[in-house]
Chain A
Amino acid sequence: MRRLALACISISLAALGARAGDVPPDAARVAALELEAGLAKRPFVYLVLDPQRRVLEIKARGAVLDTVQLTGIEVISQQPLLTRKTPGRPPIPAVWTLKSGPGDTDREVIAPTELRPAPKDDEEEVEPTPAATPTGPMPTPTQVPVPPPSYRSRLANGWDLWITDRLPPQSAFGTFMAAVRDGWRRLRGQGEDHPPAVTLAMSDEDARRIHHLMRTGTRILVASEL
């Protein structure tokens, strides 16, 4: 009986000591918070990829400016058909930095061939224009190109980040045919090797609207449940 009483007392004391606030925080979450605090100190936009919730958030100073819902997250790598091996797993939480991206290069260039003197105001008065005609900077006449829905960026860690509106087919027949096509390209010396790519699948509209954010130096915090 005495033993039972002692056991009860010790359990009660232990329960008293373990208050709700004493639950130790998850080390990964703390590391992610610290990484984000580091990113938020700089006056730049950064991205937060949460693989668990399947979202990509556009953030600045810790505030969510926009959210992109992902339809899939995969690691896509080139592998021989018969001897597959799983690519290494990227550790998280981590900050990935874009080494180069399509936002740097996919631009149109306009260059006048020669410049002539600007007409003076009084010269314009010779042929007066109607008062309603707007003056000032003319709108750019060129049509702005629509960004593609599928593109790759190179990360500083040697991986690729592939934003796409559709993942490649993974049926046995589809993979076999892809292997045949790639084999044919390689036979003609046109084969290409890509590093493994973390692939974010999303709607084509979302893929297009984050295209301009994929430029050199863009940082992506990869962390779950921040």
Chain B
Amino acid sequence: MAAEPEVLTPPPEPPQRYRWPRVVGLLFVAVGLVCFGSAAVLARLGRPLVATPFNATVSAGNPEVEPANLRKRAVRAEKELDKLHPKGVYIVVDAYRNQLHLVENSRVIRSAVCSTGTGIVLKDPRNGKQWIFDTPLGERMVERKVKHPVWAKPDWAFVEEGFLPPTDPNERFDDASLGDYALYIGDGYIIHGTLFKSLLGRRVTHGCIRLGDEDLEFLYRHAPIGTRVYLY
């Protein structure tokens, strides 16, 4: 009796739950590689901002210059600077913080809250003329001082309100807006008082510097004509 041939059965497959994590893992690795590769290519293309220390080179030192000559030049430059340095009483205006300081011999004798220019640009619809409401920067001088000043309103004061500037000059005079005192610092810019005291400390003016009543009176009494004004 011949033995029946043994039927070969394939080995059992591993359960499917073991296959999926491997596939997902491989997928993640593949995606990761693609992302990293793309990022690397993009990074190679890009030019990022790189900071290096500011190591400026001192280039003015000329060893051939004679020490005596150098000394002379230094003394001359120092003398020039000393001559230019403000002396006595002067006014400093910080246009961002809206502060005014009265300085006497390098010592602040009065600090006041003021209002300065908005920096806004006004355009005249008739001819496109522009006014920039900036408080000027740099050095100026108190050219004249007036008690109970009258303001001759310029064109922009009407244009800003949407009015045509009047042809009759008498319609321009205003004896209330500037307060009790005015210190004229050139080109129509004035240090003056204000009716809008709640706006002191803010940039709301057309370029002039507004002060509160007491500060203005102090400035009027202590800053003579010719006083330098430094605005920044």
Residues of A within 8 A of B (CB): 22, 24-34, 36-37, 40-41, 43-45, 51, 58, 60-63, 65-66, 73-82, 84, 86-87, 89-93, 107-121, 134-140, 142, 144, 167-168, 170, 175-176, 178-187, 191, 193, 198-199, 208-213, 222, 224
Q: In the complex, are the beta carbons of A40 and B42 less than 8 A apart?
A: no
**Which of A37, A81, A107 has a CB less than 8 Å from the CB of B119?**
A107
Determine if B57 and A181 form an interchain contact, defined as CB atoms under 8 angstroms apart.
no
- Asked if B71 contacts A25 (CB within 8 A), the reply is yes
Q: Which of B48, B49, B120 contacts A108 (CB 8 A)?
A: B120
**A residues within 8 A CB of B60?**
27-28, 30-32, 91-93
Q: Which of B104-126 contact A (CB under 8 A)?
A: 118-126
Q: Which of B144-199 contact A (CB under 8 A)?
A: 151, 153, 157-166, 171, 174, 176-178, 195-196, 199
A213 to B74, CA, bound (A): 29
Contacts of A167 in B (CB 8 A): 51
B53 contacts partner chain A, Cβ-Cβ < 8 Å: yes
Residues of B within 8 A of A (CB): 39, 41-63, 65, 67, 70-71, 73-74, 77-78, 80-82, 84-86, 92, 94-97, 118-126, 132-133, 137-140, 151, 153, 157-166, 171, 174, 176-178, 195-196, 199, 202-206, 228, 230-232
Q: In angstroms, how far is the closest chain A Cβ from the Cβ of B178?
A: 8
Query: Hey, which chain B residues are within 8 Å of A24, CB to CB?
Result: 67, 70-71
In the complex, the answer to whether B123 meets A116 with C-beta atoms within 8 Å is: no
Residue contact A79 to B206, C-beta cutoff 8 Å: no
User: Can you name 9 extra interface pairs (CB under 8 A) apart from A77-B49, A186-B45?
Assistant: A27-B60, A33-B77, A43-B138, A75-B54, A76-B52, A108-B119, A136-B176, A137-B177, A198-B54
Chain A residues with Cβ below 8 Å from B94 are: 65-66
User: Is the Cβ of B77 less than 8 Å from the Cβ of A139?
Assistant: no
Closest residue on chain B to residue A114 by CB atoms:
B125
Contact (A65, B232) CB under 8 Å given A28-B61, A82-B44, A89-B55:
yes
* Selected A-B contacts with CB under 8 Å, 7 pairs: A30-B74, A41-B80, A79-B47, A87-B52, A93-B60, A116-B162, A118-B163
- Is the Cβ of A115 less than 8 Å from the Cβ of B159? yes
